């Protein structure tokens, strides 16, 4: 199928010829000229989901390969895909919120709709990672733990990692109760830029700012953290937003080392 779609990309990852990556938009145009919404997960029958995954992967040049993803549970578990014989149908049963691999030819991905998707690349050791960093995962320092795990398993040095933050609900739209802000106050008692006061005792939480602080804590260099600063809730026509729509589709953020 020759689908036409506007995917989001990081220029900083495009500099590496050994990498393929992209983030899916809400819609694509199929070869009959119809506009379709991407449906990767949820109540749709699996046939359509599989079909749409194929459409998206083919649009970025990944053909005849399955996407490796995990069962995301808003936790801090990290799955290291190191067994080349493992099937994607097996990894999808594993509960985790990040995937790390050195294996080439295996696209890894996370699904989000407001939570922050993060792609990581170690150009020295050729290791990639994807992270699902929502409020709960960020509270559990998921990005920090992924960077630490890449160091433990592969010897990655934080200062050499390139990190891309995809579209997520921004500090402009993410209004939360005080109890949602409290854990971050404890984690970052000296920082203030990651929230602002809202109405009637509520706050606007900036997940991207929180994760930049997490990245810094993990040893990433500020100049190696690239954020699209793209708010899903402000751009619901182009991106899925759970906050805006409730039950909705998912954005796929994927990265692969070319075989
Ligand atoms: Zn917004």
CA of 230 to the centre of ligand 1 (A): 8
CA of 168 to the centre of ligand 1 (A): 9
CA of 188 to the centre of ligand 1 (A): 23
Residue partners of 41: CB distance under 8 A and separation at least 6: 49, 111, 249, 250
CA of 139 to the centre of ligand 1 (A): 21
CA of 231 to the centre of ligand 1 (A): 5
CA of 115 to the centre of ligand 1 (A): 13
Please choose, from the candidates 207, 250, 240, 208, the residue with its C-alpha nearest in 3D space to the C-alpha of residue 226: 208
Answer yes or no: are the C-beta atoms of 91 and 109 closer than 8 Å. Answer: no
CA of 92 to the centre of ligand 1 (A): 31
pTM of the model: 0.95
Answer yes or no: are the C-beta atoms of 32 and 141 closer than 8 Å. Answer: no
Domains present along the chain, CATH in parentheses: 11-169+226-257 (3.60.140.10)
Percent of the chain predicted with pLDDT > 70: 96
Average pLDDT across the chain, whole number: 93
The pLDDT value given to residue 236: 76
* pLDDT surpassing 60 at residue 1: no
CA of 235 to the centre of ligand 1 (A): 7
CA of 229 to the centre of ligand 1 (A): 10
Q: Classify strands 162-165 and 225-227 as parallel, antiparallel or unpaired.
A: parallel
* Band of residue 245 on the pLDDT scale cut at 50, 70, 90: confident
CA of 169 to the centre of ligand 1 (A): 6
The pLDDT value given to residue 235: 87
CA of 170 to the centre of ligand 1 (A): 5
CA of 114 to the centre of ligand 1 (A): 10
Q: Which tens digit of pLDDT belongs to each residue from 164-197? A: 999 999 999 999 999 999 999 999 999 999 999 9
User: Residue 162 pairs with which residues in a beta bridge?
Assistant: 121
CA of 166 to the centre of ligand 1 (A): 14
Answer yes or no: are the C-beta atoms of 73 and 95 closer than 8 Å. Answer: yes
The alpha-carbon radius of gyration of the chain (Å, integer) is 18
């Amino acid at each position: 199928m020759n689908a036409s779609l506007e995917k989001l990309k990081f220029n900083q990852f495009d500099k590496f010829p050994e990498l393929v990556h992209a983030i899916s938009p809400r819609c694509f145009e199929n070869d009959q000229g119809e506009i379709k919404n991407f449906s990767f997960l949820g109540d749709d029958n699996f046939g359509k989901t599989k079909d749409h995954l194929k459409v998206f992967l083919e649009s970025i040049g990944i053909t005849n390969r399955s996407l490796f993803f995990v069962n995301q549970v808003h936790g801090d578990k990290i799955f290291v895909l190191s067994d080349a014989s493992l099937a994607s149908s097996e990894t999808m049963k594993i509960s985790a919120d990040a995937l790390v691999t050195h294996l080439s030819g295996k696209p890894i991905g996370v699904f989000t709709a407001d939570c922050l998707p993060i792609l990581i690349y170690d150009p020295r050791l050729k290791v990639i990672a994807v992270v699902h960093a929502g409020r709960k995962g960020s509270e559990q320092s998921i990005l920090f733990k992924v960077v630490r795990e890449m160091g433990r398993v592969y010897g990655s040095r934080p200062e050499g990692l390139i990190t891309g933050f995809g579209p997520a609900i921004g500090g402009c739209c993410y209004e939360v109760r005080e109890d949602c802000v409290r854990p971050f106050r404890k984690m970052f008692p000296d920082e203030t830029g990651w929230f602002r006061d809202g109405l009637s005792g509520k706050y606007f939480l900036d997940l991207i700012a929180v994760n930049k602080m997490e990245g810094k804590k993990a040893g990433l260099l500020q100049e190696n953290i690239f954020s699209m600063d793209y708010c899903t809730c402000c751009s619901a026509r182009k991106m899925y937003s759970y906050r805006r729509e409730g039950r909705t589709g998912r954005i796929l953020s994927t990265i692969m080392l070319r075989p």
